[in-house]
Structure 1
Amino acid sequence: MIQGVHIGENTVLGAGAVAVRNLPANVTAVGVPARELRMRSEE
């Protein structure tokens, strides 16, 4: 866990992804470091 990194609401990290910076709400992020893959619908 990296202190101070915020994961937005309804955001999904792929298996093994590492969030090293803030991620916005409603995205799917993958990789090392985690990068936004696509926007997620708010359903």
Structure 2
Amino acid sequence: ILKGVTIGKGAVVGAASVVTKDVEPFTVVAGVPAKKVRDVSELTI
């Protein structure tokens, strides 16, 4: 996770991902660079 990047509440970041931009709440991101994979409902967490 790069400096200055914000991870939203309930967001999930995949292992070994490089997060270059802010991650929205309740979102799953993964990859290099990290990209949105799917949304997560608050009830799932």
Q: TM-score, normalised by structure 2?
A: 0.86
Q: Identity of aligned pairs, percent?
A: 35
Q: What's the offset of the Cα at 1:14? A: 0.6
Q: What's the offset of the Cα at 1:2? A: 2.0
- The CA distance in 1 between the partners of 2:25 and 2:14, in whole Å, is 15
Name the residue aligned to 1:31: 31
- The CA distance in 2 between the partners of 1:21 and 1:6, in whole Å, is 8
AA partner of residue 31 (structure 2): G
Query: Gaps spanning 5+ residues in structure 2: where?
Result: none
- The CA distance in 2 between the partners of 1:7 and 1:17, in whole Å, is 13
User: How much is the aligned-residue C-alpha RMSD, in angstroms?
Assistant: 0.9
- The CA distance in 2 between the partners of 1:3 and 1:9, in whole Å, is 18
Q: Does 1:40 align with 2:40?
A: yes
After the TM superposition, list the runs of 4 or more consecutive aligned residues in structure 1 that deviate by more than 4 angstroms: none
